[in-house]
Amino acid sequence: MKRQAFKMYLKPGFESEYEKRHNAIWPELRALLKETGVSDYSIFWDKETNVLFAYQIVDGGSSSQDLGDNPIVQKWWAYMADIMDTNEDNSPITIPLTEVFHMD
């Protein structure tokens, strides 16, 4: 298992909408993530910077950020594109973070 973290950018004024959409995450997206080995997935919001910090455990070769060719993920990206900073393909702009400390 591998721990991964990355950050994304939320557009100002969309904090409640972001949380609302994730609280109602589509069952097929949740199932896809679990099937590909993604677990313990959390996203935190820094209200001072509008940065979203994401953390997940990956058991396998694909993290949530490696599923962009899947139609379910593409549909989710399109659904979220109006409230996040995105690339041209609607994927969220993500910046991987390097782990510098971990304690069990």
Active-site position among 2, 20, 22, 34: 22
Longest dimension (CA), the chain: 39
C-alpha 90/C-alpha 77 separation (Å) is 5
As given in the structure block, the two tokens for residue 18 are: 């972001």
102 carries an active-site annotation: no
1: which 2 tokens? 């298992």
Give the integer Cα–Cα distance in Å for 54 and 71. Answer: 22
The residues carrying an active-site annotation are 22
